[in-house]
A and B are shown apart, each in its own frame.
Chain A
Amino acid sequence: MSPNVAASIARADGPLKLAVPRGALLRETLDILDEIGVDTSGPRSDSRSLIFETAGVTLVTMRPSDVPTYVEAGAADVGITGKDVLLEQADRAVYELLDLGFGRCRMVLAGRRGDASLGEAQRRLGMMRIATKYPRIAERHFEQTGRQVEVIEVKGSVELAPLIGLGDGIVDLVATGRTLEENDLEVREEIVECTARFVANRVAHKLRAAEVDDLTAKLREASGR
């Protein structure tokens, strides 16, 4: 790893800072924190605050995809985020300590129901065009399965892309499959299963070993693993 001065952020001492993902993983993250005795009334309230001091840890709420960034830099000592985020940002140097088991969903390749354009594009054009919010996961998957693709990165509602002709298919995260169904899309291949993970900053893992290990052990027990 080469040095990264710009992103180095100093960490104050005090309670461990835990990055909490907003969005789909928030509710179950707060539930498991309740179980290990962390006071989550702050983030559960309607407060617009982003930082909540509790007795044992400081909770810092953020987008799931920002968790690896904050944890790698040490601005948060530990954090919870989805495996999909960690796979997409595989070059972030964070320690993945625990599979928390919740937030289970699948990264899939999907195409329009009953539509042959994925196969046809591959056969006649030699490559598929794939719209996705996860360009690196998509590229790696097709590379490992020996197929050529043009990956088109989009930021929101990726289901839209194949419906109006941006790409032959999509790579996206699917929980229940309802969104796909409603948009007349179907799963063609499963790429990887993703759950919530507990991660730690490298330096915090060394210098605050007892606190990090204690939190890991409690979360392991609460997650039933």
Chain B
Amino acid sequence: MIHPIPPGTRDVLPDEMRELRRLNRALIEVFEARGYGEVATPAIEYDEVLARGGGRAAETAYRFFDESGDLLALRSDMTVPIARLVASRYANAEPPLRLCYLASAYRAVRPQRGQMREFVQAGVELIGAPAPDGTAEVIEVLEAALDAAGLDRAVIGLGDADLYRQLLTEFGIEGDGREAILARLATHDMVGLEAELAAVRGLGDDQIATCVALAQMRGGREVLEQARGLGGSAVERATAQMQATFDALEQRGVADRVQIDLGLLRDLGYYSGAILEVYDPALGHILGGGGRYDNLMRRFGVDLPAAGFALYLERVHVAQMEEERRRRATS
């Protein structure tokens, strides 16, 4: 007899579980070896606490009242709960703090997409280490994690979360037009972007060209030079920061797999400065992401810069299997 489970959830049977367990262990070992201690937090929290993450991160999909009438929610990622944990348990600790996790998070599914309501993330948070060296350390750990998973072809995209907000301010674009442009940039709709920019009154052709060109600039170090050629203070600041991060990565000898991407825009509400995305050629979806969230800890009463990343464990597992299959086919 079949007893259904909710769409977007699943059971894991022993063959898969064995592989997942091996992957989990490899990742946690990488994190622990670099001084990141594993933590666990409750899957349910007070909704008001998670809402401090702001933006998309705050949009917890599953909320309910407990027996005393308090509004609870299932966490939608681990960064906000860890910010809460650090503020509560390590208020007087000497920074930086290095924490890692392997945990389920919960998000709404859009119908008929095969998306998961419950999914597992593995990641780290480095709290109290400023850019650029804190960012470089997080990227170094991420690369080690990808190596441990056997994804030696994976690439890390490095962008800047503030670039377009500052660029649009510099161009004097406010209000609805601004939101519409940022929405087009977030979905990388270049046709819509050009249309929205053209609809802004008083915007010069060169300013439109700058915005459109920036969104498509991605590649190695040379991209920073090209971007700088476009001029302006927002571009200057973002490229200087990315340059500093890239220099710090080169010093650590881990810059090879990092793609500079001025078109990157993650939609979680708490990012500022460097942002990351992870890709593997064997998979059409992103494997994970992260970045700096220098303003998040302040919302919990502790003013510390921070950065981190999260990998979607199930996707890493899919990519791992595809890469193994590919290696078998080519050997």
Which residues of chain A are near B315, meaning CB under 8 Å? 3, 5, 8
In the complex, the answer to whether B218 meets A8 with C-beta atoms within 8 Å is no
User: Interface of B with A (CB < 8 Å)?
Assistant: 107-110, 113-117, 119, 155, 157, 187-192, 216, 218-219, 259, 261, 277, 279-286, 312, 314-315, 318, 322, 325-326
A32 interface hit (Cβ, 8 Å): no
Choose from B157, B189, B281, B318 the contact partner of A13 (Cβ within 8 Å): B281
In the complex, the answer to whether A4 meets B283 with C-beta atoms within 8 Å is no
Say how far A136's CB is from chain B's closest CB, in angstroms: 11
User: Interface of A with B (CB < 8 Å)?
Assistant: 2-13, 72-75, 91, 93, 95-99, 197, 201-207, 209, 213
Say how far A74's CB is from chain B's closest CB, in angstroms: 2
Which residues of chain A are near B113, meaning CB under 8 Å? 4, 7, 91
Choose from A4, A9, A74, A197 the contact partner of B116 (Cβ within 8 Å): A4
Q: How far is the CA of A97 from the CA of B193 in the complex (A)?
A: 10
Query: When A8-B285, A10-B282 are in contact, do A96 and B318 touch as well, CB less than 8 Å?
Result: no
In the complex, the answer to whether B187 meets A93 with C-beta atoms within 8 Å is yes
Choose from B218, B277, B283 the contact partner of A209 (Cβ within 8 Å): B218
In chain B, what residue has the closest Cβ to A100? Answer: B191
Q: How far is the CA of A10 from the CA of B326 in the complex (A)?
A: 10
Q: Which of B108, B117, B279 has the most CB of A within 10 A?
A: B279
Say how far B174's CB is from chain A's closest CB, in angstroms: 22
Which residues of chain B are near A2, meaning CB under 8 Å? 107-109, 115-117, 119
4 nearest CB pairs, A to B: A74-B284, A6-B114, A10-B322, A2-B107
Which residues of chain A are near B283, meaning CB under 8 Å? 8, 10-11, 74, 203
Besides A5-B116, A73-B284, A91-B113, 18 more A-B contacts (Cβ < 8 Å) are A2-B115, A4-B285, A7-B113, A8-B285, A8-B315, A10-B318, A75-B284, A96-B189, A96-B191, A96-B192, A97-B191, A202-B188, A202-B284, A203-B280, A203-B284, A205-B188, A206-B157, A207-B281
Which residues of chain A are near B110, meaning CB under 8 Å? 91
Choose from B187, B286, B314, B326 the contact partner of A5 (Cβ within 8 Å): B314
Query: When A74-B284, A93-B187 are in contact, do A3 and B115 touch as well, CB less than 8 Å?
Result: yes
In the complex, the answer to whether A7 meets B114 with C-beta atoms within 8 Å is yes
Which residues of chain A are near B259, meaning CB under 8 Å? 206, 209
In the complex, the answer to whether A95 meets B109 with C-beta atoms within 8 Å is no
Q: Can you list 7 A-B pairs, Cβ within 8 angstroms, ordered by A?
A: A4-B116, A5-B318, A10-B282, A73-B284, A75-B284, A206-B279, A209-B218
In chain A, what residue has the closest Cβ to B190? Answer: A97
Q: How far is the CA of A97 from the CA of B282 in the complex (A)?
A: 22
Q: How far is the CA of A209 from the CA of B110 in the complex (A)?
A: 29
Say how far B109's CB is from chain A's closest CB, in angstroms: 7
In the complex, the answer to whether B284 meets A72 with C-beta atoms within 8 Å is yes
In the complex, the answer to whether B318 meets A4 with C-beta atoms within 8 Å is no
Say how far A24's CB is from chain B's closest CB, in angstroms: 20
Q: How far is the CA of A201 from the CA of B283 in the complex (A)?
A: 10
Q: How far is the CA of A83 from the CA of B280 in the complex (A)?
A: 29
Q: How far is the CA of A206 from the CA of B287 in the complex (A)?
A: 13
Choose from A4, A13, A96 the contact partner of B115 (Cβ within 8 Å): A4
Q: How far is the CA of A206 from the CA of B159 in the complex (A)?
A: 12
Query: When A97-B190, A213-B216 are in contact, do A203 and B286 touch as well, CB less than 8 Å?
Result: yes
Query: When A73-B284, A206-B157, A206-B261 are in contact, do A3 and B279 touch as well, CB less than 8 Å?
Result: no
In the complex, the answer to whether B312 meets A98 with C-beta atoms within 8 Å is no
In the complex, the answer to whether B191 meets A98 with C-beta atoms within 8 Å is yes
Q: How far is the CA of A4 from the CA of B284 in the complex (A)?
A: 10
